[in-house]
Amino acid sequence: MSHNNFILNLLNLKDPNITFNDNYYSEEIINNVKSKVFYATLTYMPNTCYHCGHTMDKHII
């Protein structure tokens, strides 16, 4: 099993358009809390935000 499939299963992510690069994980302090951070890439650009319905543009992260 590739590291990409393993992480998708571990995090229970269902979107097949999410891919993890070689440097996909780090431990960082965020707001004074030690956190595990996973870095991924969405392989397509959606037209709108699924959560709020905002039309995607260069200002959306």
- For residue 50, how many other CB atoms are within 10 A of its CB? 6
Categorize the per-residue pLDDT at 9 as very low, low, confident or very high, splitting at 50, 70 and 90. Answer: confident
CA 29/CA 35 separation, integer angstroms: 6
Residue 49 structural domain: 1-60
CA 54/CA 48 separation, integer angstroms: 5
Q: Is the dihedral of CA 9, 14, 19, 20 positive or negative?
A: negative
Locate 22 and state its tokens: 């070689």
Residues paired with 48 in a beta bridge: 55
Specify the number of domains making up the chain.
1
Categorize the per-residue pLDDT at 58 as very low, low, confident or very high, splitting at 50, 70 and 90. Answer: low
Question: Which pLDDT score, from 0 to 100, does residue 55 have?
Answer: 74
Residues paired with 6 in a beta bridge: none
